[in-house]
Each structure stands twice: as C-alpha cells, then as structure tokens.
C-alpha cells in the first residue's frame, strides 16, 4: 500500500476487545471529541461473538448503530478471535497495521484486568501497547501489509472500572462528559443483544455512578477517567490546575463551592 492510497489520518483512535467496551469506558469522550471537530476512530479487536443472545450479524448492526449515535466516522473490526484473544506477534502485527494505515495522533487503549469478566480485556491492553511500539519499527513492512513505519505519539489508557489491581497510574485525568452522557447511554443501549431492559438498567446505574463519581471529583456533573503511562507535562501550572474552569477566581460564596467530603 503506498502512502497516497492511505485514508485520511485520524486524530484519535480508541481500541478495545469487544464492541460495547469503548462505549462503556469512554463513549462520552469519543462523542465529545467528535463535537470538538477531531477525527475519531473506534477499533474493535474482535467481533465480541459468540455470546448467549448475540450473533455476528446483530452485533455488527449494533456496533454500527452505536457508531452512528456517537457520531464517530470510522469503526473498524480488526477481526482477532473473541474469547481466546491473546497477546502475541500476529495479533500485534494486525493492530499495528491499522495504526500505520490511519496514523493516529493519540491511541486510547482500554486498560486493566477484569477478574470476573472476559480475559480478553487484559490481553487487548497488552496488544494495544505492543502494537503501538511495533507500528514505528523499520525493516518489517512485510509484516504490516507493506505500510510505512509510523510512530504513535501518545498513548492514553481508559481503565476498566473493576480492575483486579489497585493500579497506580503515573497520572490520571477526567474529561467532562456532562453534555454527552445521554449520547453515551444511548450508544450502550444499542447493544440490545447484550443488555435487555433489566441488564441495561444495571449497566446504566453502574456506568452513571462511576461517571458521576469521577466527574464530581473534578467539578463536573459526569466525567470519564483516563490515565497516562507517564506524568502529565505542564507548560503552565495555573492552566493545568484550573482545567476547563475559568482561570479567574471562581465567584462562589465561601463554604458553598465544595462537596461535603470533597
């Protein structure tokens, strides 16, 4: 594949094993990035099937509906095997080929180990990190469908909420998703084969609670937590600590601007 045949570069691509993982972990942020004008892509490592009530065709339609709801222009299935997803050279090559094709500025990788859910989640985390490294390697173009080496500048983690570890990330940050939380919930709702009404109510409660908690810690109604594999670099301390809030002192009466145990 020559450089001229490659599709447009994407600003951000998010990677996770199953269609519905990214909607749950960072759907609000993906929808927000689209609204902000960034070119966003979703990479599902597997089809997510088989599942008890799903099929390849329904899962594909649900993923497409969720994509449309979030407004994300590109959704690619990397076609690695579900349930037996394992980190290994061939799977790394396949994902790295997608990175080299779309040349994203940022890769968001679903991260962590889920003790009571699919082991694919942890393997997907490992594959994403390795593929990001492999993407830049020279003299291996034949392993990446003839694409040119590409260095992915930034890796961001989207942590699973029930990680088996109490993980100490080098740094974390929260994106305000107050304006896209309903879009996120609707995108999760698209997976009707996975979430019937009763299960969706539980997922909505769990996801809404987690996003409410993370948001509240940073002064937002709803937020999604992210982590970095390194400390946050800050050219301006004041701008960093203020985040998206005004840099002028807030006009909040003394004693009313904090939560009871914030």
Residues found near Zn ion in the complex (CB under 5 A): 18, 21
Nearer to Zn ion, 20 or 176 (CB): 20
Tokens 């980190």 found at: 87
CA distance 181 to 178: 6
CB 188 → Zn ion: shortest distance, Å? 12
Alpha helices, DSSP H only, in the chain? 21-35, 56-70, 89-102, 120-134, 181-189, 197-217, 237-242
| Alpha-carbon separation of residue 261 from 30, 131, 134, 208, 216 (angstroms) | 30, 42, 45, 20, 11
Tokens 């994407």 found at: 10
Which sign does the torsion angle of CA 85, 89, 90, 94 carry?
positive
CB 10 → Zn ion: shortest distance, Å? 22
Residue nearest to Zn ion (CB): 18
- Within the chain, what is the greatest distance between any pair of CA atoms? 64
Nearer to Zn ion, 18 or 103 (CB): 18
Nearer to Zn ion, 107 or 134 (CB): 107
Nearer to Zn ion, 47 or 147 (CB): 47
CB 190 → Zn ion: shortest distance, Å? 15
Nearer to Zn ion, 21 or 224 (CB): 21
CB 19 → Zn ion: shortest distance, Å? 9
CB 194 → Zn ion: shortest distance, Å? 9
């Amino acid at each position: 594949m020559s450089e001229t045949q490659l599709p447009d570069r994407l600003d951000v691509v998010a990677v996770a094993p199953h269609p519905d993982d990214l909607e749950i972990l960072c759907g609000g942020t993906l929808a927000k990035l689209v609204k902000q004008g960034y070119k966003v892509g979703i990479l599902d490592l597997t089809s997510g099937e088989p599942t008890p009530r799903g099929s390849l065709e329904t899962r594909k339609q649900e993923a497409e509906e969720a994509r449309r709801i979030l407004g994300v222009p590109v959704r690619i299935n990397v076609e690695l095997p579900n349930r037996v997803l394992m980190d290994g050279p061939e799977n790394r090559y396949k994902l790295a080929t997608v990175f080299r094709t779309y040349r994203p500025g940022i890769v968001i990788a679903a991260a962590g180990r889920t003790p009571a859910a699919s082991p694919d989640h942890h393997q997907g985390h490992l594959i994403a990190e390795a593929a990001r490294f492999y993407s830049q390697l020279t003299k291996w173009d034949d392993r990446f469908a003839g694409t040119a080496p590409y260095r992915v500048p930034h890796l961001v983690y989207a942590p699973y909420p029930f990680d088996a570890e109490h993980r100490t990330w080098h740094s974390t940050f929260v994106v305000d998703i107050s304006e896209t939380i309903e879009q996120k919930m609707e995108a999760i709702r698209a997976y009707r084969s996975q979430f019937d009404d009763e299960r969706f109510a539980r997922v909505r409660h769990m996801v809404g609670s987690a996003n409410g908690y993370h948001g509240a810690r940073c002064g937002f109604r709803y937020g999604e937590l992210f982590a970095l594999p390194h400390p946050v670099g800050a050219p301006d301390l004041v701008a960093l600590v203020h985040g998206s809030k005004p840099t002028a002192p807030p006009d909040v009466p003394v004693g009313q601007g904090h939560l009871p145990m914030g």
